[in-house]
Amino acid sequence: MKQNTTLQELRERFADKPSKASVYTIEGIAYTVVSHYAGEKDIDAVIRKLATQQAYEAITVSEKPN
């Protein structure tokens, strides 16, 4: 069974990992989103999924009547 991890534990665990901050403005309010690379994803699976989505979107766009 998986335990809940505290924010402090996550900070310590990923302190030496690369991160990126992006600012998004929604309805005049600026939100800062910080992404942390954790190295826990299968890059092959992620690329395959993104490529499949992109190909599907390209097919469905080209099939729409003008």
Q: Which amino acid is at 45?
A: A
DSSP 12-49: HHTTTS-EEEEEEEETTEEEEEEEE--S-S-HHHHHHH
Q: What are the start-end ranges of the H helices in 14-42?
A: none
Is this model's pTM higher than 0.75 or not?
Answer: no
23 within 8 A of 30, measured Cβ to Cβ: yes
pLDDT of residue 2: 63
Distance CA 27, CA 22 (A): 16
Helix (H, G, I), strand (E, B) or coil at 10: helix
pLDDT tens, position by position, for the chain (66 residues)?
567 889 899 888 888 888 899 999 999 999 999 888 877 778 889 899 999 999 999 998 766 665
